[in-house]
């Protein structure tokens, strides 16, 4: 499936590079993480939240953050274009809770109304995400940045 294009014609969204899913349960968690980022990047691209799409992938702080950061983009008259490449390195499931560690490459940039484009560093970005299962579906509940996850040592240890 092709990624949507931003108003300046750049493909924008989230893709899965590689995921270390050992079974179908872990694959479902990785898919939920991807779907969360697809909704998040579309919200940032459009500078508009689709509440139904957000609520289908996120709960708690993760849902609040999509709304807050999207509203901030709209107020600052900017939007985001580009792709984030997700690369989950570890998935741990305990009942209806999961922790996902990711070392993503974020190629997205903010574009301001005057045409200024934010710089990009292309360094790996580490995330530790908490997901929760409810009625058979996984939802991203929260995540934090953890840069140490993207060092060789961090990636080996997870």
Q: Over the stretch 34-82, which tens digit does the pLDDT of each residue have? A: 999 999 999 999 999 999 999 999 999 999 999 999 999 999 999 999 9
pLDDT at 101 over 50: yes
Q: Given this model, what pLDDT does residue 152 score?
A: 61
Please work out, in degrees rounded to the nearest 5, the angle formed at the alpha carbon of residue 93 by the alpha carbons of 58 and 108: 45
Contacts with 94 (C-beta within 8 Å, 6 or more apart), sequence order: none
Does pTM top 0.85 for this prediction? yes
Say if CB 46 and CB 79 are below 8 A apart.
yes
19/85: higher pLDDT: 85
Distance CA 136, CA 131 (A): 12
Convert the pLDDT of each residue in 2-41 to its tens digit. 898 998 888 999 999 888 899 999 999 999 999 999 999 9
């Amino acid at each position: 499936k092709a990624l949507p294009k931003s108003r300046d014609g750049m493909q924008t969204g989230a893709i899965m590079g590689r995921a270390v899913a050992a079974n179908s349960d872990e694959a479902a968690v990785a898919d939920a993480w991807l779907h969360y980022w697809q909704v998040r990047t579309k919200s940032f691209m459009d500078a508009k939240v689709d509440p139904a799409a957000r609520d289908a992938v996120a709960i708690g702080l993760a849902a609040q953050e999509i709304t807050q950061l999207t509203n901030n983009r709209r107020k600052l008259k900017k939007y985001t274009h580009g792709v984030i490449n997700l690369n989950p390195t570890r998935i741990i499931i305990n009942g209806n809770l999961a922790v996902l560690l990711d070392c993503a490459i974020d190629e997205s940039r903010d574009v301001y109304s005057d045409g200024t484009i934010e710089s990009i560093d292309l360094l790996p970005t580490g995330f530790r995400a908490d997901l929760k299962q409810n009625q058979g579906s996984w939802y991203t509940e929260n995540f934090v940045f953890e840069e140490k996850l993207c060092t060789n040592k961090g990636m080996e240890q997870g």
